Structure 1
Amino acid sequence: MLSETATATVRATLPAVGAAVEDITALFYEKLFAAHPELLRDLFNRGNQAAGTQRQALAGSIAGFATYLVERPDERPDAMLSRIAHKHASLGVTSGQYKVVHQHLFEAIAEVLGDVVTPEVAAAWDEVYWLMAGALIAIENRLYAEHGVLKGDTWRDWEVAGRTEETADVATFRLRPADGGSVPVHKPGQYVSVQVELPDGARQIRQYSISCAPGSPLRTIAVKRIGDGEVSQHLHAHVREGSRLRVSASYGDLVLEDDDAPLLLASAGIGCTPIVSMLEHLAAAGHTAPVTVVHADRSPATHPLRTDHGLLVEKLATASGHFFYEQPGPGHPACRTGLVDLSGVDVLAGTRAYLCGPLPFMRAVREQLLAKGVPAADIHYEVFGPDLWMAA
């Protein structure tokens, strides 16, 4: 909780900081990478930096956290903090790096805001930063401990046991520990980070959802080839059976709760990968509560894991599947043609929803679920790349 003095100062300066926060984060990254180029080379996603999406996400998280502290002083935005901490742990972030970030972030704040940053203002925002950093460090340390790894040392060598071309631009990679050890158990819906060395020597990292159920003898990930995606292009072009990859432990807070609530699992495009993992887990566990599965894609040919997706729906006696295609094949129902429309889909009272896919898709589905009476607290989501939900 912020001190009373800091709360008053942050409340008074929040409009000025909020108006300038994207300028602040842009200058922060410029300063950070000038002083530590290895962070851009080996930790941060160079594509997101070039597109500006990472600074948008950082700006949104800072402004969102500060606003939360001021407006709800007796609470903490645990959902936002958990999502960030899981991402950081999957990258191997350590507590010492928060000091580096603090230095360059506050230099940027002082430079952008100038005389607005009095000693009192600096002290108040310093308090905000360390409240957020302290909470994240605690969660990240707990995650490292749960996986039995040293803080920041999340990496392990894995071997590609097989590869399958799912669609023209999606490939599934089946992985096993290179040391011959057992496959660690993950939670359905989680992801791993994959680190590859690129031709220029950079060791870039990306996150990919696990598409198999916990307890599977191999760990599987489905990778969509992105036009300007450094890592996805590398994986598609160079990684075959027998190749080795550096892979993190499993992280992510979009995980199924073990209860009998009705479920709605909605995805679009490659967002079906964590949903398939959830469905496989439910089928293996003999789940009997109602499950509604919704998926959106351009066409059946572009639907990753389409066969598995459909078979798992059929395997669950209480599940119903609703696949929407913009360009469907012959015989596809007209009511399932085009964008997702839940008006014809029964959503039971007490439904818990899990969404994964592009942000516009998830926002549209969320609005429809809210209109059907699903509480906001029961709608969970996973964003690929920087979380821009709060930055919008």
Structure 2
Amino acid sequence: MTPETTTVTSIRLAAPDGSPLPAARAGQYVTLRIPEGGDPAPVRSYSLSAASAEDGYRISVKHELHGVVSGYLTTTVRPGAAVEVAAPRGDFILKEGTGPVLLISAGIGVTPVLAMLHELAASHSGREVWWIHGARSPREHALRAEAHALLVSLSYGREYVFYSAASPGECDGEHIRAGRLGKDQLITLGVPAEADAYVCGPARFMANITDALTAAGIDSSAIHSELFGALSSINPGLTRSAGAPPHAPAGPRATGPMVTFARSGVSTPFPDGEGSLLELAEACDVPVRWSCRTGVCHTCVTPVLSGDIEYTSSPLDAPAGGQALICCARPESDVVLDM
């Protein structure tokens, strides 16, 4: 365990018997279940900040207020402790190519793009790499020395760091600037229009950065992003409004298989009787995506991190392996969904 800032701690994960871990791609995440965290055991997903065959996985966890899992990982867990970890997954990965790469992040969103930077440095990439990061101050800038060293090792590395609340004198350095990283700041940098961009951070930050990249002439297909937390809802015909935070459903506790919404941090038994996983998510105010609700459109397709599901009506086309159409699915066993 390595403290990175007062609120961020890096943790190495390895197999208890020392056997090799499943291969991981830079940008992917792992899902952890913490048996000591309560009943049911809480589940959370964390992007890998580094992964290698020699050193195993590394996650860098920010201690969130009232965060059961982050609090346990940053203040309670000790070397040698056992946690349940699913194999790495996710499509936010570095694409092959020779053109410029933009790695853009804010706050703890630095973790997956840092793993990408490690991959580029390890391969001695000759690509032009732009590292653009926003933080409140140097004191809250996790893994900054590591990122800087990796960029120095690259032949064509560029570094731009923005501090939104730095004290006088804390913005010394050619690559450090005062102010919040946003659309105007990014356009001013003059990023190349032929670049592939990888963006991670809060939803509003990513929306602003995506607008800026589009304005800079970068094709939307070359802009890749990863959102921490649940995806936004897609609910046709419903006016978007600020909903309640995810929670256990109202009423008596059910007795069906345990359903865990990993990104939203909710675990609850599946209700007795009829119903779907989509309906349970709605009862928990978990952000959901749907359109047809009949297994046709695939808008509700959701990764199943563990467990088995069954369909109450057969989908028109089955989803890819490891995924489910939650609008017409029920759990056959305890399940963990990536939502």
* Common topology (TM > 0.5): yes
Bigger shift: 357-366 or 336-345?
A: 336-345
| Structure 2, unaligned runs of 5 or more | 241-339
Matched, 1:339 2:180: yes
Shift of 1:275: 1.0
Matched, 1:245 2:86: no
State the partner residue of 1:349: 193
Question: What letter corresponds to residue 370 of structure 1 in structure 2?
Answer: T
Cα deviation 1:62-98 (Å, max 9, x = unaligned):
xxxxxxxxxxxxxxxxxxxxxxxxxxxxxxxxxxxxx
Distance, in Å, in 2 between the alignment partners of 1:250 and 1:336 is 35
Q: Secondary structure at the match of 1:314?
A: helix
**1:306 aligned residue (133, 137, 144):** 144
2:106–2:202 CA contact under 8 A, matched in 1 = yes
1:214–1:281 CA contact under 8 A, matched in 2 = no
> What is the 5 A alignment of 1:227-306?
227-306=65-144
> What is the 5 A alignment of 1:118-197?
163-197=1-35
User: Are the structure 2 counterparts of residues 291 and 244 from structure 1 closer, same or farther at C-alpha, using a change threshold of 3 Å?
Assistant: same
2:102–2:196 CA contact under 8 A, matched in 1 = yes
Shift of 1:218: 2.2
State the partner residue of 2:213: 369
Distance, in Å, in 2 between the alignment partners of 1:214 and 1:200 is 31
Distance, in Å, in 1 between the alignment partners of 2:225 and 2:61 is 19
Shift of 1:285: 0.7
Matched, 1:225 2:55: no
Distance, in Å, in 1 between the alignment partners of 2:233 and 2:111 is 20
Question: What letter corresponds to residue 336 of structure 1 in structure 2?
Answer: R
Question: What letter corresponds to residue 338 of structure 1 in structure 2?
Answer: G
Shift of 1:380: 0.6
Cα deviation 1:264-301 (Å, max 9, x = unaligned):
01001111111111011101111101111100000011
User: Are the structure 2 counterparts of residues 229 and 272 from structure 1 closer, same or farther at C-alpha, using a change threshold of 3 Å?
Assistant: same
State the partner residue of 2:275: none
Question: What letter corresponds to residue 283 of structure 1 in structure 2?
Answer: A
TM-score by length of 1: 0.56
Shift of 1:170: 0.5
Distance, in Å, in 2 between the alignment partners of 1:226 and 1:324 is 22
**1:383 aligned residue (227, 232, 241):** 227
State the partner residue of 1:36: none
User: Are the structure 2 counterparts of residues 273 and 250 from structure 1 closer, same or farther at C-alpha, using a change threshold of 3 Å?
Assistant: same
**2:40 aligned residue (202, 205, 211):** 202
User: Are the structure 2 counterparts of residues 350 and 195 from structure 1 closer, same or farther at C-alpha, using a change threshold of 3 Å?
Assistant: same
Shift of 1:335: 7.8
**2:157 aligned residue (290, 301, 319):** 319
Question: What letter corresponds to residue 188 of structure 1 in structure 2?
Answer: A
Q: Secondary structure at the match of 2:34?
A: strand
Bigger shift: 190-199 or 288-297?
A: 190-199
User: Are the structure 2 counterparts of residues 239 and 338 from structure 1 closer, same or farther at C-alpha, using a change threshold of 3 Å?
Assistant: same
> What is the 5 A alignment of 1:4-23?
none
User: Are the structure 2 counterparts of residues 282 and 199 from structure 1 closer, same or farther at C-alpha, using a change threshold of 3 Å?
Assistant: closer
Task: Work out the number of aligned pairs and report it.
Answer: 230
1:359–1:389 CA contact under 8 A, matched in 2 = no
1:213–1:278 CA contact under 8 A, matched in 2 = no
Cα deviation 1:241-268 (Å, max 9, x = unaligned):
1111111100011001111121101001
State the partner residue of 2:257: none
2:33–2:83 CA contact under 8 A, matched in 1 = yes
Bigger shift: 326-335 or 198-207?
A: 326-335
State the partner residue of 1:158: none
Cα deviation 1:349-370 (Å, max 9, x = unaligned):
3211000111111111111111
User: Are the structure 2 counterparts of residues 330 and 367 from structure 1 closer, same or farther at C-alpha, using a change threshold of 3 Å?
Assistant: closer
1:261–1:351 CA contact under 8 A, matched in 2 = yes
Shift of 1:389: 7.4
Between Structure 1 and Structure 2, which shows a larger proportion of strand residues? 2
Shift of 1:313: 1.3
Between Structure 1 and Structure 2, which shows a larger proportion of helix residues? 1
User: Are the structure 2 counterparts of residues 289 and 199 from structure 1 closer, same or farther at C-alpha, using a change threshold of 3 Å?
Assistant: closer
For the pair shown, which has the larger CA radius of gyration, 1 or 2?
Answer: 1
| Structure 1, unaligned runs of 5 or more | 1-162
> What is the 5 A alignment of 1:75-90?
none
1:356–1:382 CA contact under 8 A, matched in 2 = yes
State the partner residue of 1:57: none
Cα deviation 1:209-258 (Å, max 9, x = unaligned):
11114434221110110002111112122211111111110001100111
Identity in percent: 35
Shift of 1:346: 2.6
Question: What letter corresponds to residue 116 of structure 2 in structure 1?
Answer: M
2:161–2:176 CA contact under 8 A, matched in 1 = no
State the superposition RMSD in angstroms: 1.8
User: Are the structure 2 counterparts of residues 213 and 247 from structure 1 closer, same or farther at C-alpha, using a change threshold of 3 Å?
Assistant: closer
Q: Secondary structure at the match of 1:322?
A: strand
1:213–1:281 CA contact under 8 A, matched in 2 = no
User: Are the structure 2 counterparts of residues 207 and 338 from structure 1 closer, same or farther at C-alpha, using a change threshold of 3 Å?
Assistant: same
